[in-house]
């Protein structure tokens, strides 16, 4: 199936990035969220990113204008009923995502693929909720979406060949490198990454070193481009906590126990870069 119309639900940092890259290759994109402010912010961040690319001569003004012309916004998911694919990028909460997939199963045309950008929630759970198991797939982009090449394409047991192949090809058309991953909590990326970030937080909590020192050790000692605490702030500490909880519950193994300092920071509204404070102040 050829993908022409794309719906993106959730206009936060990931949803806005996904809408941008889809619009930039000529897809007709509708970006949805629950409040006008949120879709406005999503659109503003797309505009700002594109403007930066124009000023660095990476794209022309016309490419920027064409990309923006391909994006419309909405507060009503029913407007996505005619999309070829819907990519969900709302908060990492299994009950909220299940409700959304259940309603999308009712709203959308039979052919519509329902993809989730979840960081950790098994796709099979969302497939069951949708009532159209064969059409559900994971499409896990990395942050920031316009820059990062990888997309994990997660195949649930129920995902049909056509759904998987169409999603894999869309990722290639977006100039990304898709990788097939089977349906396990956290997939590959966050099964490996998040326990490391969590361990860095234990190091802060136990006084092993200050955040700057921990980040420097991992950057200069291990060759990581960004220290784990800077990266956690960038991902969003609320999202990091949600992922650790999924790993802990679903794998039923205490090695994935979320760091108590992470829980405390999230309970105080310290979500990292997006709230202005996390392990660092912004």
Ligand X SMILES: NC(=O)c1ccc[n+]([C@@H]2O[C@H](COP(=O)([O-])OP(=O)(O)OC[C@H]3O[C@@H](n4cnc5c(N)ncnc54)[C@H](O)[C@@H]3O)[C@@H](O)[C@H]2O)c1
Catalytic, 172? Answer no
CB of 207 to ligand X, least distance (A): 28
Name the segment binding ligand X (CB under 6 A); options: 79-87, 126-134, 235-243, 246-254. 235-243
Q: Does 38 bind ligand X (CB under 6 A)?
A: yes
Q: Which residues contact 210 (CB under 8 A, 6 or more apart)?
A: 204
CB of 243 to ligand X, least distance (A): 6
SS3 for 138?
Answer: strand
Catalytic, 140? Answer yes
SS3 for 140?
Answer: strand
The DSSP annotation for 148-209 comes to --EEEEEE-TT--HHHHHHHHHHHHHTT-EEEEEES-TTTTHHHHHHHHHHHHHHHHHTTSS
CB of 271 to ligand X, least distance (A): 8
The correct pick among 8, 23, 33, 108 for binding ligand X (CB under 6 A) is: 33
Contact between residue 122 and residue 95 where contact means Cβ atoms under 8 Å apart: no
The correct pick among 15, 122, 211, 228 for binding ligand X (CB under 6 A) is: 15
The DSSP annotation for 217-264 comes to IIIIIH--SS-HHHHHHHH-HHHHHHHHHHHHHHHT-GGGPPPHHHHH
Residues in the chain: 282
Q: Does 118 bind ligand X (CB under 6 A)?
A: yes
Task: Report DSSP state, residue 34.
Answer: S
Active-site residue identified among 49, 116, 158, 190: 190
Q: Does 100 bind ligand X (CB under 6 A)?
A: yes
Q: Which residue has its beta carbon closest to ligand X?
A: 12
Q: Does 226 bind ligand X (CB under 6 A)?
A: no
The correct pick among 20, 117, 159, 167 for binding ligand X (CB under 6 A) is: 117
Q: Does 235 bind ligand X (CB under 6 A)?
A: yes
Active-site residue identified among 70, 77, 152, 158: 152
Phi/psi at 116 (5° precision): -115, 140
Q: Does 222 bind ligand X (CB under 6 A)?
A: no
Active centre residues (catalytic): 119, 140, 152, 190
């Amino acid at each position: 199936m050829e993908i022409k119309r794309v719906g993106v639900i959730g206009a936060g940092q990931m949803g806005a990035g996904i809408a941008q890259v889809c619009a930039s290759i000529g897809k007709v994109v509708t970006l949805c969220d629950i409040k006008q402010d949120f879709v406005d912010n999503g659109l503003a961040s797309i505009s700002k990113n594109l403007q930066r690319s124009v000023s660095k001569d990476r794209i022309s003004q016309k490419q920027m204008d064409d990309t923006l012309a391909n994006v419309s916004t909405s507060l009503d998911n029913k407007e996505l009923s005619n999309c070829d694919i819907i990519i969900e990028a709302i908060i990492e909460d299994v009950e909220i995502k299940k409700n959304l997939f259940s309603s999308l199963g009712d709203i959308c045309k039979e052919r519509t693929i329902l993809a989730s950008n979840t960081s950790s929630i098994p796709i099979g759970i969302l497939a069951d909720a949708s009532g159209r198991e064969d059409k559900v797939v994971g499409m896990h982009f990395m942050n920031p979406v316009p820059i990062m090449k990888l997309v994990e394409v997660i195949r649930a047991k129920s995902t049909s060949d056509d759904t998987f192949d169409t999603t894999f090809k869309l990722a290639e058309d977006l100039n990304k490198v898709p990788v097939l991953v089977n349906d396990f909590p956290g997939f590959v990326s966050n099964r490996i990454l998040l326990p490391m970030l969590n361990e860095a937080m234990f190091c802060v909590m136990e006084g092993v070193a200050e955040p700057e020192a921990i980040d420097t050790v991992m950057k200069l000692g291990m060759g990581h481009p960004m220290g784990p605490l800077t990266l956690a702030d960038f991902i969003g500490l609320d999202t990091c906590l949600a992922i650790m909880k999924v790993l802990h519950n679903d794998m039923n193994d205490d090695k994935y126990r979320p760091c108590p300092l992470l829980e405390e920071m999230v309970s105080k509204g310290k979500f990292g870069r997006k709230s202005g404070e996390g392990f660092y102040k912004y």
